[in-house]
Amino acid sequence: MLRVAAKRFLATPTASSAARVPSRFYHERVVDHYNNPRNVGSFDKSDPTVGTGLVGAPACGDVMKLQIKVDENTGKIVDARFKTFGCGSAIASSSVATEWVKGKQMEEVLSIKNTEIAKHLSLPPVKLHCSMLAEDAIKAAVKDYEAKRAKTTTEKAVNA
């Protein structure tokens, strides 16, 4: 008797269930990178082989620090780390960015676009700023590394 009543109750649409708004879910890749972020942490920013990019979005409060460690002989990024304060999409974008830059040349990582990160994570339009932060953080880290390298080269030339 209880089963029959429950089936009738659950099968009959009500005004409240018809007006119910479907919930939004993150894509499984976002959830994976949020629950199991890759490459969390930081390097010593005074290390001359480390480039640091610190970017933020004042509108939403997301802040992203992405660091790259570069092999000076090959110019290849050998490791990457991040720390992000923000939503799940920002954390996932940072995690993906660190995975994508490892093992690549400096010139290659500059070609990584926010649209590629957003597409990979299936970010909705309202979360595109997260992938933009990741792209900006990569560029800022490369710029910081190159500035350190130029300074080191100049100091070596002066001291020689």
> Catalytic amino acids?
60, 130
Q: How far apart, in whole angstroms, are the C-alpha atoms of residue 98 and residue 109?
A: 10
Strand partners, 86: none
Provide the phi-psi class of 109: left if phi over 0, else alpha when psi is between -120 and 50, else beta: alpha
E strands, the chain, where? 50-57, 62-70, 77-85
Q: How far is CA 133 from the centre of its chain?
A: 7
Q: How far apart, in whole angstroms, are the C-alpha atoms of residue 26 and residue 43?
A: 30
Single-letter code of the amino acid located at 102: K
Contact 39, 81 (CB under 8 A): yes
